[in-house]
């Protein structure tokens, strides 16, 4: 009778332990995950940190953490870490053993392989007893984000003759008259408007005097990124490498312009990733490079509107005194006509052609 009672008592003990784990395994278990930086560039390496703690006397013989994140981040090989990749997402699995009142901090090195906004909303935690009789699962909200900006190219690698145009931008910003700034008076000359006459100075000198306008640094640049490979393209981008190169060109131009104190905006007929409205991108000229890089990072390779129509809308809205740089794979007739309409409205228009052959993958 000794052996049967031993078996029965062992089974009862296992069931008792299993019941304890079923009710208490995930109590007082805390988990956080974060990146060492909120933003990085393509090719950079950042750290993803996991911290987990067991704040009770009951040990956890095994604990599995699973989450999914979009492809584009490459995790280095590490013990107790498993990565399985699908077509769009990759699964990230971490395994832990937690003694009572134990805190573990684990760091993973992550290489940013492609631009994008990488979100990690939840992580699923599963644990149980040593015998595998019970299992408890809980989902932890994370709301973790990593913005990966497009890598910039050397400005001297941009196709000619854009270099000369770029060199003129910092000079041009000092040769614009500001109607609200005055620098004294001067004698009236043919062509001056009556509204510019300074009547007090005229009475004092006995000769017609007008306000002398000062110069201002009010220069504006709009970078126009065209998602179309050709003027006959519909929605889907068929040559992703060329458009990715165009995105890098746009980032390089924006970086240069902002560094020169030029307010810079972005106009694109692509849409932002995660934007349910499928609207084109239109950001007014601004002075913050990070805002433009964030938009470029989130650009989805999908055309939502002809670029020619976007430029027509700019002209119809009465935009003036703005330089437009059109980064495009083609110069179709409709696109050139819309660009000319912008030019006739009092704006500067320049082109930056994306080469037809791009080496390497984006």
- Lowest-confidence segment of 7-11, 48-52, 84-88, 285-289 by average pLDDT: 84-88
Q: Is residue 23 part of a domain?
A: yes
* Helical segments of 212-332, H only: 240-259, 289-298, 307-316
For residue range 163-221, what is the model confidence (pLDDT) as tens digits?
A: 788 888 776 655 445 444 445 566 666 655 665 666 666 667 777 776 555 444 457 89
The Cα–Cα gap between 62 and 65 comes to 10
Neighbours of 309 (CB within 10 A): 14
Strand residue runs (E) in 55-115: 60-70, 73-75, 81-85, 89-98, 102-112
Q: Is residue 360 part of a domain?
A: no
pLDDT tops 70 at residue 15 = yes
pLDDT given for residue 217 in this prediction: 47
212 with 224, same domain: the answer is no
pLDDT band, very low/low/confident/very high, at 323 (cuts 50, 70, 90): very high
The answer for residues whose C-beta is within 8 angstroms of residue 24's C-beta and 6 or more apart is 56, 58
313 closest CA partner among 276, 282, 336, 286: 282
Q: Pairing state of beta strands 220-225 and 323-328?
A: parallel
- Lowest-confidence segment of 80-84, 236-240, 242-246, 262-266 by average pLDDT: 80-84
Mean pLDDT of 64-72: 90
Q: Is residue 327 part of a domain?
A: yes
Q: Is residue 301 part of a domain?
A: yes
Domain count, the chain: 3
263 with 165, same domain: the answer is yes
**Looking up tokens 């240069």, which residue turns up?**
256
229 with 111, same domain: the answer is no
In the numeric block, which tokens belong to residue 18? 């299993």
10 with 114, same domain: the answer is yes
pLDDT tops 80 at residue 26 = yes
112 closest CA partner among 150, 153, 83: 150
Mean pLDDT of 335-355: 95
20 with 69, same domain: the answer is yes
In the numeric block, which tokens belong to residue 342? 């912008």
Mean pLDDT of 256-271: 93
Query: Which range marks the domain in which residue 203 is found?
Result: 179-216
For residue range 106-150, what is the model confidence (pLDDT) as tens digits?
A: 999 999 999 999 999 999 999 998 887 888 999 989 889 999 999
Mean pLDDT of 19-45: 93
12 with 139, same domain: the answer is yes
The answer for residues whose C-beta is within 8 angstroms of residue 60's C-beta and 6 or more apart is 25, 29, 54, 96, 97, 98, 127
Q: Is residue 340 part of a domain?
A: yes
Secondary structure of residue 18 in the 3-state scheme: helix
Q: In a 10 Å sphere around its CB, with 0-12 CB exposed, 13-18 middle and 19+ buried, how is residue 355 labelled?
A: exposed
Q: Pairing state of beta strands 81-85 and 45-54?
A: unpaired
The Cα–Cα gap between 3 and 16 comes to 20
Q: What is the pTM of this model?
A: 0.80
6 with 126, same domain: the answer is yes
Across the chain, what does the average pLDDT equal? 85
Backbone phi, then psi, for 223, in 5-degree steps?
Answer: -85, 120
The Cα–Cα gap between 252 and 249 comes to 5
Residue 24 belongs to a domain with what CATH number?
2.60.40.10
DSSP H or E stretch at residue 49 = strand 45-54
132 with 18, same domain: the answer is yes
Which DSSP letter does residue 197 get?
Answer: B
pLDDT given for residue 196 in this prediction: 62
Decide if 144 contacts 120 (C-beta within 8 A). Answer: yes
Q: Is residue 362 part of a domain?
A: no
pLDDT given for residue 160 in this prediction: 75
143 with 165, same domain: the answer is no
273 closest CA partner among 305, 304, 241, 229: 304
301 with 339, same domain: the answer is yes
Higher pLDDT, 10 or 194: 10
212 with 349, same domain: the answer is no
Q: Which of 35-39, 74-78, 183-187 has the highest mean pLDDT?
A: 35-39
Q: In a 10 Å sphere around its CB, with 0-12 CB exposed, 13-18 middle and 19+ buried, how is residue 216 labelled?
A: middle
132 with 190, same domain: the answer is no
pLDDT band, very low/low/confident/very high, at 228 (cuts 50, 70, 90): very high
Mean pLDDT of 60-69: 92
pLDDT given for residue 214 in this prediction: 47
- Lowest-confidence segment of 79-83, 159-163, 278-282 by average pLDDT: 79-83
Q: Is residue 270 part of a domain?
A: yes
pLDDT band, very low/low/confident/very high, at 350 (cuts 50, 70, 90): very high
Q: Is residue 361 part of a domain?
A: no
């Amino acid at each position: 009778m000794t052996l049967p009672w031993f078996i029965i008592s062992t089974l009862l003990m296992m069931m008792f332990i299993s019941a304890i784990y079923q009710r208490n395994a995930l109590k007082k278990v805390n988990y956080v995950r974060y990146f060492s930086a909120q933003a990085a560039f393509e090719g950079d390496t950042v750290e993803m940190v996991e911290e987990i703690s067991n704040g009770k006397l009951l040990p956890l013989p095994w604990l599995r953490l699973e989450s999914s994140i979009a492809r584009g981040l490459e995790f280095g090989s590490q013990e107790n870490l498993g990565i399985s990749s699908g077509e769009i997402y990759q699964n990230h699995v971490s395994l832990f053993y937690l003694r009572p009142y134990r805190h573990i901090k684990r760091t993973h090195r992550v290489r940013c392989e492609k631009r994008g906004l990488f979100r990690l909303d939840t992580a699923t935690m599963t644990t149980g007893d040593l015998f595998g009789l019970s299992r408890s699962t809980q989902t932890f909200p994370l709301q973790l984000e990593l913005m990966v900006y497009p890598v910039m190219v050397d400005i001297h690698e941009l196709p000619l003759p854009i270099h000369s145009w770029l060199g003129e931008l910092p000079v041009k910003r000092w040769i614009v008259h500001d109607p609200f700034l005055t620098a004294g008076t001067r004698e009236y000359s043919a062509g001056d408007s009556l509204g510019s006459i300074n009547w007090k100075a005229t009475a004092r000198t006995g000769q017609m005097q007008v306000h002398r306008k000062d110069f201002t640094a009010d220069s504006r640049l709009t970078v126009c990124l065209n998602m179309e490979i050709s003027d006959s393209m519909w929605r889907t981008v068929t040559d992703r490498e060329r458009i990715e190169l165009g995105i890098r060109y746009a980032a390089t131009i924006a970086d240069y312009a902002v560094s020169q104190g030029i307010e810079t905006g972005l106009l694109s007929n692509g849409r932002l990733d995660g934007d349910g409205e499928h609207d084109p991108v239109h950001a007014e000229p601004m002075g913050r490079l990070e805002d433009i890089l964030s938009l470029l990072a989130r650009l989805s390779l999908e055309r939502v509107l002809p670029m020619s129509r976007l430029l027509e809308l700019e002209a119809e809205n009465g935009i003036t005194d703005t330089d437009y740089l059109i980064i495009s794979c083609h110069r179709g007739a409709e696109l050139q006509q819309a660009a000319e309409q912008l030019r006739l409205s009092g704006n500067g228009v320049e082109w930056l052609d994306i080469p037809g052959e791009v080496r390497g993958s984006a």
